[in-house]
Every structure is written in C-alpha cells, then in structure tokens.
Structure 1
C-alpha cells in the first residue's frame, strides 16, 4: 500500500507568501489545508479551483488565528478529515497601517490618544499571539496523533514559524511589526525543549522584503534601486525545504531571492566574539544549570 501523501496546514494562506506556500505543497502532491479569515473564503476557494494543479487535494477552512475557538476547530476539522497533520506553517501576519509611536496623535486636551496603542496591540495579537496559538495547537495534535501518523513513518512532525528579517533587525520603523517578529524568534528558541520531548521539529523562515500587499507602498522603488528581489514563490520553496529537512531543529533561514543564511547557528557561533569568551562561557554554564534542574522554576502565584 503506497504511503499517504503528507498533509500540510498553512495559516494566512489567502494571499502572499502563505498562498504561494500552499500552492507549492499542492504542486508536489501534498494534502493542503489553507486557512485565513472567513471573508477570504470565496476568493481563496476560487483560486484553488482555478490555479492549483490538484484542487481535489486542497481544502480551505476559515479561522482567525487570534480566536482560540476557531483555531481549535480548524485543527480538529483538518485532523478528522485527513487523519493527522505532518507539517504546519504558522504564516498569518499583518502590519500596522499608521505609525503606532506617533506622538503627535493627541486629543483636544493634549493627551496622547489610545487608538495607536490599540493598533499596536492588534499587530502583536495577530503576529505573535496567532503564531503562539498555532504553535501550541500544532504541537498538541502532533504529539497526540501517533497512530494516524504511523502510515507516514518517514515524515517527522514539522512546524515552520514565519518570522521576518525584522525579527533580527529593527531599523524600518514599523514598531509593532518589528516587535512582534522578534517575539516569533523568541518562540522558536523557547519551544525547543518541549519540541524535542515529543519528537517535533520546530524551525523558522525569515523572509527579507517580499512583494506582497504589505510592501505595495514601496516595492516598485525597491526594484528601481536595483536591490535583490524576493518573491512569495521563492520564500515558499525555502519554507518547504525547511519543513521537510529532518536534520533541522531550532533553525531559522533568512531568504532574500538568491540569498539564504542560517541565522540561529550563526548567532550561536558568534556569541564568544559578541559577548566575550568569559560571559559566553558563564552563560553556557548557566543554561546547563537550568537544564540540569529540569528548567526554569516558575514562581508561585500568591
């Protein structure tokens, strides 16, 4: 009996990088579950029918990544339909539409208005909270679906978090977006202990500027400046490579067109020259201490 096709779930897949990733996996014969906001369902299903080579292997399930109820239903529906999930790509993300640190946004009494703070927290809720929801649910179902995954023994459960070069560098001025993507890198690092415990691989991809709706305001000028051009399709290729490379654990690959770099192992190798041998050595011993005592001992709530 031939092995079942790998099943892949991608959040934020109505357009941009998420849609290109879904298309890439579908082209290679994978069962592909696309998810995005309910308002995108009709247009996304039309694109699946019109452009996917195997539309019968693709399914759209509406869910808002910030809603625990909707995300729980998304995972349960996907697993009931296909018997398990092999790869999950936490891609959904948004960017602020106005500067959230605008200090001139004041009311008639000269007080700073709350609305920019609300927009900033909304970015954090989607880009970081949504990835956290996706990661937690994916790990839970991947650890609890051993029997369904027995038909796909050659596939190790794999999660890819889509961060950004803004998760490592913060000079573009989009404050909430940069902060949220730094948070995704933090999730990548902090999730490794639990991921190893359950045999799940968690990695990340950090695209540099990629022409999507987020970059429409300056994409043409970027190209006119002669800078390296990324594409959603190129990022999708790297996401698929990272997702399926069984040797990768806790890594993050920066991708910008022809350029790719592994960020996490590079950072680790540079710690002695960055911090100094003495502090780097001390921190290594400190981390070993926490490992030896079974992790950070959480404070008790009073």
Structure 2
C-alpha cells in the first residue's frame, strides 16, 4: 500500500508505548517513530534488556526513549510500564500491542507421560496468554490512559491504539493452532473494541501482515523467496503500524500489505509452501522472562 509520508510529521512530540518492542517489528516501529520526533516507551521482557539498550543507542533521539521491562501477561508489570511512560514524558498518545510468540511444537498433537497419560500443553496456553490475554491487557490499559488525554489538535481524537494480528487471523494450519487461534481472537477484540473507541474518541486499528522475516520465522524465509511469494519486511510492517497510528482518517480498519486478488494469490502461495514442507515450521520455545 502507498502511504502519505507527510503523516510521519504528526509523530513529532507525541509519545508511543509499544509492547514486545526490543526486537523485530516492534523495534523497527519504535525506531521509525523516534526518527520523526516521537517519544517511545519500549516494553518487553527483562531478558531483552541488552536488545533494548542497543536499540535505544541506535535511535536518532535516544533521549526520547526508555525501556521498561514487563510481561504483557502480568497486569501490574504492564500497568507500571504505562505509569513509567507518563512519568517520563507526561502522557501517552499511541499504544501498539505488538508482543507475540508462537508455539515450538504442534499443540493439537497431545504428548503423553511415561505411563501413557496425556499431558496438557503448557506452551499452547502460553501462546494464548501472551498473544491474546496480553493484547487484551494492553487494549484495556490503552483505553484507560488515552481517554484521559485532551483532544489532539490535528485529528480531534484522544489517542490511537494499534493491534497486531496476522493473515493467520483469517486462515491457518493445524501445526500452529494456538498462534492461529490467538490471531483470530485479536481480530475479535478489534471488532468488539469499536463502540468504546467511538465513545472515547480513540482510534483503534489493526495490522494484519503476511509472512514477515523475524526471529519467529527464522529458518524458512528463503523458501518464500525461491518460490517467488512476496513477503513483508519489518520496515514495511513498521510503516503500516506508524501510519495507522498517525493517520487521522484511519479508524476501525484492518490494514494489510495486499488487497483483493494480490492477497489471495499471496496466501495461496504461502499455503502451497507450507504444505510442501509438511506443515508450519515451528520456532524454538520462547523465553517468558
């Protein structure tokens, strides 16, 4: 999609809180916003502190960035991130619910213990906790704090929230069932949020990128390139998030890099590749600390 790059000027002087933003798409988005004068609150797990510090040092305005360690599944930790951000910069204008993980094993394939008894999938529930519960926590706190803002001069809203779903929110494979379910759930949250968004004058949008090379998808991105199937870059995903956050005319929308037949062709190509691989290649188990 084509974006009006002049919209990035609206980042100047604003403050954005981004979850899961020490690496990947979140980090790219934080850097882009900061480059255009936005204060950024990088919220991620304590184990990502070195990544966050490196990210801040690489920014155009490092003095306009802070790192607050928190798990999105922990209400008190996430609440502290919002409070720390407001303490540092006065208010929060933009919230990006980016934190997400994927299971490292097929959760529908039930494992058994030595006696043959089925074992509950802890990892599957962790994916649902981070991706769905974490997004709900972020959305709730976003509404709570952003509705306290005065109306913005340039778009007559109190703030903007961007949820990160995926094309997996529209289709999926059984190998990553927990991830697919969580992304479908985020679309449900997005739709259910619109009445309150309208009432509180907060713009809530969602981004649904297709395959994007990140640490979650590391190890099989070359198969997409060889098959000629288009993929996103983290830069493209970051731009989509930034423009959804800053465009005053964008409200209640799910943005994708492809539309219509292009999207159908891309998803068909994606499905063919995954089927040829015998299922979705799952990443290593994610750290929860």
Sort the TM-score into its range (normalised by shorter chain).
0.7 to 0.9
For 1:100 and 1:172, how far apart are their aligned partners in 2?
Answer: 8
**CA-to-aligned-CA distance 1:267-292 (integer Å, 9 cap, x gap):** xxxxxxxxxxxxxxxxxxxxxxxxxx
Match status 1:58 vs 2:65 = yes
1:121, 1:176 within 8 Å by CA — same for their partners in 2?
yes
What is aligned with 2:141?
137
What is aligned with 1:220?
222
When residues 260 and 59 of structure 1 are mapped into structure 2, their CA distance, relative to the original with a 3 A threshold, is: farther
How far the C-alpha of 1:260 sits from its partner, in A, is: 5.1
Aligned residues: 248
For 1:141 and 1:119, how far apart are their aligned partners in 2?
Answer: 31
Could you tell me which of 29, 36, 42 is aligned with 1:21? 29
Could you tell me which of 104, 107, 111 is aligned with 2:113? 107
Match status 1:125 vs 2:133 = no
When residues 40 and 188 of structure 1 are mapped into structure 2, their CA distance, relative to the original with a 3 A threshold, is: same
Point out the more displaced range, 66-75 or 164-173. Answer: 164-173
Normalised to the residue count of structure 1, the TM-score between the two structures is: 0.78
Match status 1:43 vs 2:45 = no
- 3-state SS in 1 of match to 2:256: strand
2:72, 2:135 within 8 Å by CA — same for their partners in 1?
yes
**CA-to-aligned-CA distance 1:223-246 (integer Å, 9 cap, x gap):** 121211211111000111111111
- 3-state SS in 2 of match to 1:61: strand
Could you tell me which of 243, 254, 257 is aligned with 2:256? 254
For 2:119 and 2:75, how far apart are their aligned partners in 1?
Answer: 29
What is aligned with 1:154?
154
1:11, 1:91 within 8 Å by CA — same for their partners in 2?
yes
How far the C-alpha of 1:107 sits from its partner, in A, is: 2.2
How far the C-alpha of 1:193 sits from its partner, in A, is: 0.8
How far the C-alpha of 1:171 sits from its partner, in A, is: 3.1
1:253, 1:260 within 8 Å by CA — same for their partners in 2?
no
Match status 1:76 vs 2:83 = yes
What is aligned with 2:246?
244
How far the C-alpha of 1:172 sits from its partner, in A, is: 6.1
For 1:28 and 1:173, how far apart are their aligned partners in 2?
Answer: 40
**CA-to-aligned-CA distance 1:129-149 (integer Å, 9 cap, x gap):** 000000000110011233xxx
2:168, 2:184 within 8 Å by CA — same for their partners in 1?
yes
For 1:249 and 1:169, how far apart are their aligned partners in 2?
Answer: 24
How far the C-alpha of 1:47 sits from its partner, in A, is: 2.4
For 1:76 and 1:47, how far apart are their aligned partners in 2?
Answer: 22
How far the C-alpha of 1:62 sits from its partner, in A, is: 1.0
- 3-state SS in 2 of match to 1:48: helix
When residues 81 and 106 of structure 1 are mapped into structure 2, their CA distance, relative to the original with a 3 A threshold, is: same
When residues 178 and 4 of structure 1 are mapped into structure 2, their CA distance, relative to the original with a 3 A threshold, is: closer
1:158, 1:202 within 8 Å by CA — same for their partners in 2?
yes
For 2:12 and 2:237, how far apart are their aligned partners in 1?
Answer: 26
Give the ranges of 4+ consecutive aligned residues of structure 1 lying more than 3 Å apart after TM superposition. none
For 1:39 and 1:108, how far apart are their aligned partners in 2?
Answer: 33
For 1:86 and 1:27, how far apart are their aligned partners in 2?
Answer: 16
2:41, 2:65 within 8 Å by CA — same for their partners in 1?
yes
Q: CA RMSD in A?
A: 1.6
2:108, 2:174 within 8 Å by CA — same for their partners in 1?
no
Query: Unpaired runs of 5+ in structure 1?
Result: 262-302
- 3-state SS in 2 of match to 1:174: helix
How far the C-alpha of 1:4 sits from its partner, in A, is: 6.6
Query: Unpaired runs of 5+ in structure 2?
Result: 1-10, 261-289
